[in-house]
Structure 1
Amino acid sequence: MKRIERIYSYIETNSKNFTKNKLLEIKGFSAQEIGEKLDILRSNVSRELNTLCRDGKIIKIKNRPVLYFDRSSFEEILSIKLPKELEEISDLDDFVKVDKSIGGEEESPFNYLIGAHTSLKNQIEQAKAALLYPPNGLHTLIIGSTGVGKSLFVNIMYQYSKYIKKLQEDAPFVVFNCADYSNNPQLLLSYIFGHVKGAFTGADKEKEGIVEKADGGILFLDEIHRLPPEGQEMIFYFMDTGTYNKLGETDRHRKANVLLIGATTEDPSSTLLNTFIRRIPITILIPNFEERSMEDKLELIHYLLSKEAQRVNKTIRISAESIKALIGSTSYGNVGQLKSNIQLICATGFLNCMNTDKDIDINLNSLPTNIRDGLLNFENKSKDDGQVWNRVPKLLTIKPDGNRTFIETDGYEPPFNIYNIIEDKAFVLKEEGMSDQDIKKYITTDINVHLKQFYAKFKGDTYRKDGLLKIVDKDIVDFAQEIKALAEERLDKSLNDRFIYAISLHFSALFNRIKKNTVSFSNNIKLTLSTINTKEYEVAKEIHKLIEDRYDIAIPEIEIEYLALLLNSIQELSHQERVGIVVAAHGTSTATSMVAVAKKLFEADNILAVDMPLERTPSDILESVIEKVKQIDEGKGVLLLVDMGSLNTFGETITERTNINVKSIDMVSTALVLEAVRKCSLTDTDLDSVYSYLLTDFRGYTNNIHAENDLGDDNVIVTICSTGKGAAVKLKELVEAVTKNIYISSNVKVIPTGIINLNESIKHISEKHKILALVGITNPNLGIPFISIEELINGAGENVLRNIIEGKLTVSSARGEDQIVLKNLCKQTLMEIVTFINPEKIYPLLDRFVKAIEAYLEVQYDNPTKLRIIFHVACALERMLLNNGLVYDSSESELNPKYVQALREANLIFKEALSISLTDDEIYYIVDAINVC
């Protein structure tokens, strides 16, 4: 055993003796003692002890002499989690004294948090360590999405500090939202540190800052990522020195003892200065609602319903389906969104039993559509876990408990009593002679307006805008915001953020079509004379000119009509018929994920997802799709977006069985789903026009808003095929896959062309671009490097192409390890020959299968042979899924047993990953195929 290992073993063993005996004291071990016990020189012991401290295995306790203790045992005795960066404790007595005063911590404020012993256990340990750290605690950063409860968590930290006597009972707790003054550093400085009289114009008297107010307590900086760099520098200087000066003073003679706690929804590394982050040693991540355990979710629902039952003094009964819908509908807003939804359904339930002795009954039919759809999300996420279903009670009954105390936090409770509003308005409307049914309709709308206004912060707009920036160029989004402000001023009305999302995606797609010269000048938007003669149409003309001036490109006149229609329809509140959308894709959550993005961007309620695990049969899938089509149809037909295979033929079958007009488009992608939702959000759009546009005009989104003529002298690769279309375009995609994986200083573009007038085409291209290579079926012998399709597929050509692009003088014909062309060609072909297998998911397993055979047989197949084997195996796997395997009709005794054994060994890959095994008959056929190869 090494010397350092002997030393650590001694400390660990003796430290654990205290843990086993549950002693609330810690006896450290000095270097002198360890040296004597282990017969090692003291200087050598000290050197190894310092190494163990840096490795985080032991804790150094500053004392005379310096003592050392096992880190894990230290944490276990005190029931805390020390920060990784902590190597030494300066005041052990402070830790021990605090722990003794707490005892078992039965009354700890943290125990009131739902999830204190489950999903928030580690976070609470971190918080305790931060607060316990002598002398005044460690500055802390709380990270989490909107609505997870960051403010509540910080509030509990403050209560805990008083509970353990680290803070006085009247210690200040100051909350400051950094977004309030983020664009005015001088005002921010004044607000944080205060100012003296005459510091600036209007400073007629001295003012204290929030640091001075928080002296002896906690300063909570919410949305800390909104602090400008100047503000961060001011704060971290104060953290370093504990001193500050007011605005207008020159000397930093003022002192304050303040524990800083920040909260952010953003990634600190991308929004905060590194120098600032380094001064905050504790970072606590609060989990999203989706990451919480089922027990936590149910307890949260019970808790929030109890608050409503007590507030309205009525018993609330809620069905299991409603509970599941609440869980499934809580996504971007987390606990805040859940609270909003519960208040909405309780207010609606209260309206139905107002002025009666009846209880509030909540069932699936009484829920709003957006909450009711959450049941589908719950089912999709939990269908593989039967235990989840069993945890949800069939019926939850909650009675008002007037003695129960609830944790309240600023900003979580609405500034009004929704139930008082309902009662007051119902009384007034009744006096005016309105019927009970009309009163309910009127007040239901009012409930939605009140709650939507208050919970606007839980809509996740920041999240959705960040998601939009991953799809659309920031300049386009910024321009869309400028247009929104212009339209609001001209029309004197408020446009919601859906306008920004819709117009940004539309512009991005439009610029992409202009770039590719595929702009459609046909008009499929039905405008009436009353629409044209409106303010919206005049504003649309103004916006049209702004676009042309800003991007210096010609925009079709029909864009004016589209913009006018968008300005008219985006604020339409009444329900009008729209085209419905159903997305169906293979995989356990592929369709759901794409639909979730669309819902977050557009708050769309006319789109549903159908996920199709590989084990589901085609007939079962068809029934699921039909059910969703019926559910989403509003009378204008349904657009069916599918990923591949026979799903594309479902449209006609569904139309025949349901009499609902259904059009289907395959090769679905997130971009296609977003564009479909954007187009179908217009109530004047019909199914045929949406279908035609997506099928022929839409070419995806792009961040490059410049026209093709602006490409200049970019390097290009020309792909050659018989027509310049079809196969040449496919070849273009394969070559692009190679270029995208090679780092080069300038862009390489791929241009497809046909063999007709090939020399003229090459000459024309070379006038504008530098041609690096030609790839295709024939060599025009123009002195330009040429790679045949065969070379590209077998791997040698791909390596040659890499060398050409990278500018290497040596052109090697050796095959590269990472054969991108083989991979992409294989996936593309698999999409055409298999129906129920996802090529993206199955290709890595097929590739491993081939490599396993090569390793067993000690051979190396060329790429065409690999392709044949992969296609044979993929088809065999699909037959296994359908229980429709082939029967080998020849004698297996004639087959090479070594090959048979090689495939059986490789077959284990599918068994382990998919729980699917090829039958011996299928293996025999594949052996035949390999021998033919």
Structure 2
Amino acid sequence: MKRKERIYGEIKNLSKLIDKDSLYNDAEIGYSAETVSANLSIARNTVSQELNLLHKEGKLVKIKSRPVLFVDKNQLETLLDISIDKEHWEIKSFEELKQYYYWEKHSPPEQDGIFQDPFQMLIGHDNSLKDAINKAKSAVLYPPSGLHVLLSGESGVGKTFFAELMHKFYELHRKQEGPIPFVYFNCSEYYNNVELLTGQLFGYIKGAFTGAAQDKVGMIKKADGGFLFLDEIHRLPAEGQEKLFSLLDKGTFRKLGSGIEEQATVRLIGATTCDINSTLLKTFLRRIQVAISIPSLKDRTLQERLEIIIFFLQQESAKTKLGIKLSYAFAYYLMTHNFEGNIGALKSEIQYKCAQAFLNVMTKGYKNIILDDTFVTENIHMNEVKIKTILESIFNKNDTIIITPESEGFLLQEYNSKDNEADEMNFYSLLIKEYDALKNRFSYAESRALLENKISTLFQYTFYNKSMSCSVNHCSRRNLEVPMTGKIDKLIKKLEEITGKILDESTRNNFYLHIYTFVTYMKKGINPPIYNAPFIIEHYKKEYEKAQQICDYMSKFLNIPCPKSELIFMTLFLNALYDSNLGEAKDLSCGIVIIAHGKMTATSMADFANALFKTDMVEAIDMPIEQSISDTLEELLQLVRQKSYKELIILVDMGSLTTFGEIVKRQFGIETLVVKNITTEILLEITKTLLYNPKPLKDMLLYFEQLSKQYTLLVQTVKLTEKKSKVLITSCVTGIGTAQKIKTLVENTFKDLLPQDFRIEAKEYHLINTQEKLLGQVKEDEEIIGVIGTFNINLLDIPFISLEELFSKDGIDLLVDIIGIRNQLDNADNRLEDITRNFVGSITLQSLIDYLTILNPEKILTEMEEVLSILCNKLKLRVSKQVRLRFLIHCCCMVERIIINKKPLEYKAKIQHQNYNEILSVIKLSFATIENNYGIELSKGELNCIYEILQQ
């Protein structure tokens, strides 16, 4: 056998060792001249010469790496099921070959002569995003079931949308198979509870844990045959990552509580903003075959950045149907400003500035939206030569250019015109309506100020948050909250066609606002409860049948489910519509007052009912979070004095306000009825009944009892003398164990002082994480007097004590007041001081380890000990055991609280010594390492707390 044939035979034998799995998992596929030389005992130079000849003959593929590698071309063609052309006999990397041939072989078909590639809607698809897209296509199409992918990049670069495009790309290839699942899961929501994480991902069987009343299908099963997108995958704890190994390795998983192994074919796409090597297990990363980095905005080319800016401006132009006059200075600002939120933040900034400039169109008669240097929020020096060059090429020595959806020379995807029809919010139309309503009541300056405040508030709390999840030039439809005005107009037209009634302007506006709110809730996954459907259906059969027709149409037209609660509301709405021609309502002796927590909750509900029925009988009392119950009660009593009611129905949103009826009855001697957990549906029904079928309140009691039979409405006044058992809830997000320890701690502290009608309940966090769930944990004759836990539950009128407060100097005082035993303690000499001393003494560093939830307790304690040592040295302090313990507990809880809540504490030191500022500076410097390690910043309020602990 000739030497060249021996060498070729050796390469062929070695190449047979390559299989399909190793094509992606092995980074160095191929064989060097040195390897062949050692195997055949032939000089390396000779082997190298023969290998190059075999390559030129088309028998070997040459990989230009270091060292140069060779592979049998026939073996590669067999494995990849392709024919390698001469152009690719020599390649820079094997990755290049895979990407080229997988895309060539599996490219989607042309439709009407147009190549259908969803990735082409990305600005930069042929430049800065080219490599990322090629990798994504290869991973999606790799047989038999694709490869797992990890997307990395800063917040706002468009990772979620990129994942959606991968899904869309695959759907185009498998169009004949029908829809392919794409399941979204945010890991951050369960990062500190592996059991909850397991239940959500894998599902669980009935009885797997407390509260598992029925079997649940997990995200993995829902994604079977498609994609599971794990957003913020870096928030998966190590145990959570390990639980996915079986799925990644063998495509199998087990439901929580089940011993049966199930199969699922799932392509996993993870997304992270962090360094993957420092946040994810090496064993987990080995199972993710493809890593794709999405470049930040500053890493995109200047041309792409300009195209993205113009694209977003074109979107705003399409919404407003106005040209946008863009100044050179504002364009330069957008090109050079460092948007920390990347493309999402850039889009939000453009939307916000356009909304502000739109006010000039309404109030000053401008014909275009003008974005000039008055909207530039920072000093710009215009010294970036490359940016000036690219801007000058489009401004052509003009100070401004006009941007419209039809502007030539800029990218505007055809698909986006559809998105503009269903934009996140028809914001500009709403602004016009707002202005029309305001200008008749307020001066020009006042109207403009009110609108500017509204714009600022909406963008701060709504637009900016949503835009961060938006992509390069598209925002997912699942983020949409309301349909366009045109769609609602068509819905109203259908309603008028079915009912034979023409809605007047007032009713149209109210119906519009209802649909606006309803669609917002449905898009967020909030489904209102159903209110006594059997009773309402029985009484309003005609209206219910027509409501079914309207809801069916609405569901199909708006592409959202129409729940039973909306069907009931529509029934009540139609009943009110038919009754609107009954004439003037009778003189009323019975009043309706709605009281609800929030700045405008009660007012908005009352306005809706009054406008719908063309009355003013419904009065509203709003109860902002900072307003006390006593102030609210005084407002109610003042209203009753003014109106001289003979009877009164009080509608409240929470049980804590139900005593108001008894107080009004005692002071004014009038019959009262209290209805709690009020909703718009019930408000409309009560208002309609009082207007058109009024009876004495005692005669109407049966009617209201029927209305509330199956629900939590209260149809009688709560007696003030009625005694309730008191319940203190303890909870922890990590599970029942820590909650039980907190319960034991409180019981051991007070022992025989606890009242007989008092008990402490330890509850799992997921059972009480909303006010509604919390109230459902006690009986009707019981009252929750407080909650102790690690995570606040946004309780409006129930005291919440965090662990940090519990372990603070005032922790015992808080508990004494909540339980209501201060009188007992005041009558016993030094009893409170003894309890406090014993309580503090019982708290050890080990107990702190038990109570922390997301931090590594051993690590944070060691770090805080070091900080305390530094402070003692610098301030020449000698701290007692109690001060040391309080410092460690407070500071460890403080770090955890800041990480979770991300809100600065506002606190002012009660006593400030002469060297107060100097000590604060020392504290700040001593905590520099903690701030750096945990990515936090201590506010002056936090420093003041630490100052007082050290100085006490």
Place the TM-score, normalised by the shorter chain, in its bin: 0.3 to 0.5
Taking structure 1 as the reference length, the TM-score comes to 0.43
Taking structure 2 as the reference length, the TM-score comes to 0.42
